[in-house]
A and B are shown apart, each in its own frame.
Chain A
Amino acid sequence: MSDTTNAVDRTARPGTDDLDLTVPPAPDEPGTLETALRSARAAGRKLLVPYVTGGLGDDWPDVVRAIADAGADAIEIGIPFSDPVMDGPVIQAASEKALEAGATPHGILDELARVDAGVPLAVMTYYNIAFRTGLQRFAENVASSGVAAAILPDLPLEEVGPWARNADAAGVETVLLAAPTAPDERLPRVCARARGFVYAVGLLGVTGERDALASSSLVIARRLKAITDKPVLVGVGVSSAAQAVEVCAEADGVVIGSALVRRLLDGEGPAGAAAFIGSVRSALDGS
């Protein structure tokens, strides 16, 4: 870049509907995702929510359908962001690859509108993707794509108000993360505002596979189960069927991301993804 003019199109700014930080109470009625998860839990099932990076490979919608058929209770679709600070090397690599292949938020949502997986879907992305589009427009796009929920890991309780207001209005459930670092007084506030499920962060760190389940996973699941009736799913560092079973001694279910996405990066495709998720499903059902 070499020109030195100050010309900038500030008309492109997303507006200032994000400036009122009041956090509205969560609607009383559970949405599609929470209803589905509660009903599966009531049937005695442990909940399995795999994560797939949207736009990773041309066949990613097939992956979504395949893992739904293999026993996922809901599916998280990552909308890749250039600077995913909550993600480890595997999701970072997948995000970068998807972006290089031309993935866009709207392209992914358009695909999801057609995917017909038969289970509720949630998008996981970073706040700037929603912010840049405009909170209301992004929430409405998510809803009109048939996606039930959204997870924005860089939007803590203190900042969630503006997004939550727009998401609630559009009928999109906002899943909130609950971290091991949260003091006891904070967790009930997180649970009260969470919709869909409460995403229990299993360890101190970013997403990625670990050799063993962190003991903090069991602790945070236990702390949350003691204070909320909403489904509690542990994610971050749940890497295998055995670890999923282990953490489900305390939790209602698991989110599995990197272990699945690594297989996709290795080229295992829909069949490999289905085989892996199927094996986790069997292990959870047998536990």
Chain B
Amino acid sequence: MAEPTSAGRFGEFGGRFVPETLMPACLGLEAAFREAWADPAYRTALHDLLRDYAGRPSPLTECHRLSEELGVRVLLKREDLNHTGSHKINNVLGQALLAERMGKTRLVAETGAGQHGVATATAAALLGMECMVYMGEVDMGRQALNVFRMRLLGAEVVPALSGSRTLKDAVNEAMRDWVATVETTHYCLGSVMGPHPYPWMVREFHRVIGTEAREQCAALLDGEVPDVVTACVGGGSNAIGIFSGFADTRAELVGVEPAGGAAVTRGVPGVVHGMRSYLMQDEDGQVLEAQSISAGLDYPGVGPEHSHLASIGRARYETVTDAEVIDAFQLLSRTEGIIPALEPAHALAWVSRARAELAGRTVLLNLSGRGDKDVAQMMDILS
């Protein structure tokens, strides 16, 4: 997948719709990222951290029992086995090293399910930086374990009390913080969204998922690529990461959105959180509140490159219901001994529903996180 234009556009999507106060920071961040990304010392430092601290490369697991049950050959890219339990650490280590290089002493982040918040708090602890995480009040309730983890790691967790009190509102609060603290603070944005350069920069940090998976699949499949590559999409970072390894192949790319937060599937172009992208909104342009069982996907927008991939037809997007996700969560636990996070359970829910269409084919699914954080919520739902 290519670089965006100098104006941060992927086709008609992207851009930098931020308050004037933040514009110099966006321009500065882009310059700093370009410079760091071209610097072998930075790349080596990041590579070493990903290997020695985060535990990369993450394995590729072939699911024999699940495959037999579905009639579809399913391979999992095991981002759930990374340190902190999800793919989020790839991006956060990259941004934290960059922030340190830029002389910033403080990280702010938004978080939905808490996985990005935990990853950011972790990187801040590792590098001795101050960390503040904004989290919707509703999400703090349903992801209490991650709130505790972030605090244990030394971060301050601040509830977002406006609007739907979920991820969208946490992004608003993080941006408001950044407007006030931009001189000392780096906004460690957690997905391939927001103003340029974030959608591109975060993709580059997650590209490692796709690069590793491409090699691992080639080894397993005699040099071949899987027929289908699938991942869940909220903002869309784990999906972009794995898609980036296969965009130039014959593999079909399928993003799976929650039915209640389906920006690509049901949205129309709009502008919020710094980007022009598909957005769930009403006829006046007010942003709608998403509703999903998964705090990590409970978001009415989507990263602009997904909007672009959808509009040019390179990727296709499907939706699944909360009920289908609950089934998939149990299915993987029961057949493979892997408890997935609710977010990647969306991708599995689609594979399960589409099993007839997928019969006999090979599907690579990005298992973006582990389900420990969701166990308490599922205990309530299933009892």
Contact = CB atoms under 8 A, between A and B. Distances in A.
Interface in A198-215: 201, 204-206
Contacts of B15: 159
Nearest to B24: A181
Interface in B262-287: 262, 265-274, 276, 279, 281, 283-287
Does more than half of chain B's interface fall in helix, strand or loop, or is it mixed? mixed
A217 interface: no
B319 interface: yes
A60 interface: no
A202 to B, nearest CB: 11
Given A83-B273, A131-B270, A158-B7, A204 B291 contact: no
Interface in A121-145: 127-133
B12 interface: yes
Interface string B314-353: 0001111101000000000000000000000000000000
Contacts of B49: none
Contact of A83 (B172, B179, B180): B172
A71 to B, nearest CB: 28
B5 to A, nearest CB: 9
Interface stretch (A3-11, A165-173, A244-252, A260-268): A3-11
A128 B270 contact: yes
B105 to A, nearest CB: 16
Interface stretch (A14-22, A29-37, A276-284): A14-22
A227 B318 CA distance: 53
Contacts of A8: 265-268
B285 A129 contact: yes
A181 B281 CA distance: 32
Contacts of B7: 21, 158
A204 B183 contact: yes
A195 to B, nearest CB: 15
A146 interface: no
Interface in A1-55: 1-4, 6, 8-10, 12-14, 16, 18-19, 21
A162 B167 CA distance: 30
Contact of A157 (B23, B176, B279): B23
Interface string B279-317: 101011111000100000000000000000000000001
A156 B181 contact: no
Contacts of A179: 19-21, 23-24
A10 B268 contact: yes
Interface string B176-196: 100111110000000000000
B162 interface: yes
A204 B184 CA distance: 12
Interface residues of B, number: 52
Nearest to A133: B285
A286 interface: no
A21 B4 CA distance: 15
A18 B276 CA distance: 10
B163 A186 contact: no
Contacts of A14: 268-269
B7 to A, nearest CB: 5
A157 B15 CA distance: 12
Interface in B192-249: none
Interface string A144-182: 000000000111111100000000000000001111111
B23 A156 contact: yes
A242 interface: no
A239 interface: no
Best-surrounded residue of B20, B267, B274 (most CB of chain A within 10 A): B20
A82 interface: yes
B172 A156 contact: no
A70 to B, nearest CB: 29
* Interface core residue of A129, A154, A186 (most chain B CB under 10 Å): A154
A88 interface: yes
A83 B163 contact: yes
B175 interface: yes
A92 interface: yes
Contact of B286 (A18, A82, A88, A157): A82
A105 interface: yes
Contacts of B373: none
Contacts of A155: 17
Given A85-B175, A206-B180, A177 B19 contact: yes
A206 B286 contact: no
A105 B16 contact: no
B259 interface: yes
B176 A181 contact: no
Which of A9, A85, A153, A159 has the most C-beta atoms of chain B within 10 angstroms of its own C-beta? A85
28 contacts: A1-B262, A1-B291, A4-B320, A8-B268, A16-B12, A18-B276, A82-B287, A85-B172, A85-B179, A88-B176, A131-B270, A131-B271, A153-B19, A154-B17, A156-B16, A156-B17, A156-B20, A156-B22, A158-B23, A159-B17, A177-B20, A179-B21, A181-B23, A183-B24, A201-B19, A204-B181, A204-B183, A206-B176
Interface of B: 7, 12, 15-25, 162-163, 168, 172, 175-176, 179-183, 259-260, 262, 265-274, 276, 279, 281, 283-287, 291, 317-321, 323
Given A153-B20, A156-B22, 7 more contacts: A1-B262, A14-B268, A14-B269, A84-B172, A132-B281, A156-B23, A201-B19
